[in-house]
Structure 1
Amino acid sequence: MRFFRWVLAAALLTGPAAFWPAAAQVYTQSDPLAHTFSIVARDPKTGDLAVAVQSHWFSVGTSVSWAEAGVGAIATQSFTNKSFGPRGLALLKSGKTAQQTLDELLRTDEGRDVRQVAVVDSKGNVAVHTGAKCIDMAGQQTGAQFSVQANMMLTDKVPGAMARAYEQGAALPFPERVLAALDAAQAAGGDVRGRQSAALLVVRAQASTAPWDDRLIDLRVDDAAEPLKELRRLLQLHRAYEHMNAGDLAVEKNDVPGAIREYEAAEKLFPDNLEMRYWHAISLANKQQVPAALKLLRPIFKQDPNWRTLTQRLPKVGLLTVSEAELQQILTLK
């Protein structure tokens, strides 16, 4: 029944003669109707690439946003052809420009009139297409190394608002600058249906020998009343855990002062997280600052005694290097 409704909606948009011959290719049950607003961009400072999106559709980040380090970023939306993501990245990787890639994707797609897709390549070239039968309000705007696009919006002000916000946010860190464009879209009216999900994907300017590290940020809000607000919260949490990871690396290198600095920075961003406070305390203890460590550990142990159990296990693996007397002082905290 759901598939029938999608077929019927598509038929109304395109007309029977245009629709039915291409039905199997253009509209399938697996392709979401991700009517939405998005941005693709290349950071002129670092070369990093990003795609960000919000929609009134479940888990929009699994359909619209695609990117690969050193290759490019793609947003595919409206009556979404998800194959544009991996196919487009493959075309970019083969050496085609953003425009050449877009031209090839559209050339082979019978549903081009209901597609909206944007591409930015690793050199900052952009290309964007808004099909003639995308649902109003639909539009696009390009600028230096970025493109913003939207369809099924409440007003026709969304692309312009997004572009202005992105251009005016040049002093912001790149991920925050991209999110500023999404916030501006919502403030200008956003999706006529409301909001449900959002995503932010940022990849490195160049591919490394450790591809598992090439996705710098990969955050998704699949279902929320205020997805952009939640996406910003997750970005701040991501920043906090970057400091936590740096602190862990400092511990591995026996750089206890460095670890303390990183854990403190993480705590400032996410003060209610017990784990961040816990490892800060352990680093203090390893720095022979046991009284300060006890002060941090006492409320942690009261809130969740499992942290006390974990502490018993740390000396065995060298992560807690206090004396036996100090260890007992920690474990018997009241």
Structure 2
Amino acid sequence: MTFSIVGRCTETGQLGIAISSSSIAVGARCPWLRAGVGAVASQNITLPALGPQILDELAAGLVAPKAMDRALARNGYSQYRQVAVVDAHGNTALFSGSHALGNHHALAGEQCVAAGNLLADVGVIAAMVAAFECSEGCLAARLMKALQAGQAAGGEAGTVHSAALSVVGDLTWPIVDLRVDWAEKNPIGELEKLWLAYQPQLQDYLTRALDPTLAPRYGVPGDE
């Protein structure tokens, strides 16, 4: 029901996730990120609790595979779960349970992990990893390219309806958190439109938060 890419930028240390699913509002349940700690995609028969629990274990000093294994063991039913992890140092962990749906696959690359289930073809995941590794630009743009590459390689076996893009940097809140909770068709295309609209405003929103005296004008009535 889902395919995702979790990645890290070696230049900035940013961590991010791009994800799409046939289910509604995938961005509300599956991507979990914490600045300076890691990023986790918890999917398939999704247990949202796995994301925060794995991030807690990473924050406590566990390496990515042990953090993931401990959270999976704590909750049981691991045979139904699929998890992808990248920590703040670029270390990775991945897991696909024996009851993962349909064609499923997970693959670690350089500073990234891609994972998916109910795939049109298992080659979707390798295409996502290759796209991430070969792309340039900021992390959010690279994640979008990887998600689009997965879609171009076949994506999910059925129609996807939601998509999300999240990135954390040095701040305690996400610097990118964009979602298409439902689209009858092409939510990844709709997510790309959101990203292209948001990208030129990203730094302005950070400036407004950190030093309002330097903020550009807001473009609303009364903003003199």
TM-score by length of structure 2 reads 0.91
d(CA) in 1 for partners of 2:36 and 2:205?
Answer: 24
In the alignment, what sits opposite 1:325?
Answer: none
In the alignment, what sits opposite 1:181?
Answer: 146
In the alignment, what sits opposite 1:38?
Answer: 4
Residue 240 of structure 1: CA displacement? 3.1
In the alignment, what sits opposite 1:239?
Answer: 199
d(CA) in 1 for partners of 2:207 and 2:58?
Answer: 37
- Aligned pairs (5 A) from 1:116-195: 116-169=82-135, 171-195=136-160
**One-letter amino acid of the counterpart of residue 61, structure 2:** G
d(CA) in 1 for partners of 2:56 and 2:212?
Answer: 40
**One-letter amino acid of the counterpart of residue 136, structure 1:** G
Structure number with higher relative contact order (C-alpha < 8 Å, ≥ 6 residues apart): 2
- Aligned pairs (5 A) from 1:69-148: 69-148=35-114
What is the aligned-residue identity percentage? 33
In the alignment, what sits opposite 2:30?
Answer: 64
Q: Once the two structures are superposed, what CA deviation does each residue of 1:16-68 show, in whole Å capped at 9, x if it has no partner?
A: xxxxxxxxxxxxxxxxxxx2001111111111101110000000001110001
- Aligned pairs (5 A) from 1:311-330: 313=222, 319=224
CA pair 152-236 structure 1, distance change in 2 beyond 3 A: same
Give the gaps of 5 or more residues in structure 2.
none
Q: Which of 182, 185, 196 is the matching residue for 1:223?
A: 182
Check conservation: 2:6, 2:18, Cα contact below 8 A: yes
CA pair 123-251 structure 1, distance change in 2 beyond 3 A: closer
4+ runs deviating over 2 angstroms: 240-253
Counting helix residues as a fraction of each chain, which structure ranks higher? 1
CA pair 247-215 structure 1, distance change in 2 beyond 3 A: closer
Q: SS in structure 1 opposite 2:101?
A: coil
Q: SS in structure 2 opposite 1:45?
A: coil
In the alignment, what sits opposite 1:24?
Answer: none
Residue 108 of structure 1: CA displacement? 2.2
Bigger CA radius of gyration:
1
**One-letter amino acid of the counterpart of residue 101, structure 2:** I
Equivalent residues, number: 222
Counting strand residues as a fraction of each chain, which structure ranks higher? 2
In the alignment, what sits opposite 1:14?
Answer: none
Residue 175 of structure 1: CA displacement? 0.6
Give the gaps of 5 or more residues in structure 1.
1-34, 264-274, 280-306, 320-334
Check conservation: 2:45, 2:80, Cα contact below 8 A: yes
In the alignment, what sits opposite 1:287?
Answer: none
Q: SS in structure 1 opposite 2:175?
A: strand
Q: SS in structure 2 opposite 1:108?
A: helix
**One-letter amino acid of the counterpart of residue 179, structure 1:** M
Q: Once the two structures are superposed, what CA deviation does each residue of 1:120-140 show, in whole Å capped at 9, x if it has no partner?
A: 111111000011221221001
Q: Once the two structures are superposed, what CA deviation does each residue of 1:136-184 show, in whole Å capped at 9, x if it has no partner?
A: 2100111121100010011121111111111111x22211101111111
TM-score by length of structure 1 reads 0.62
CA pair 228-107 structure 1, distance change in 2 beyond 3 A: same
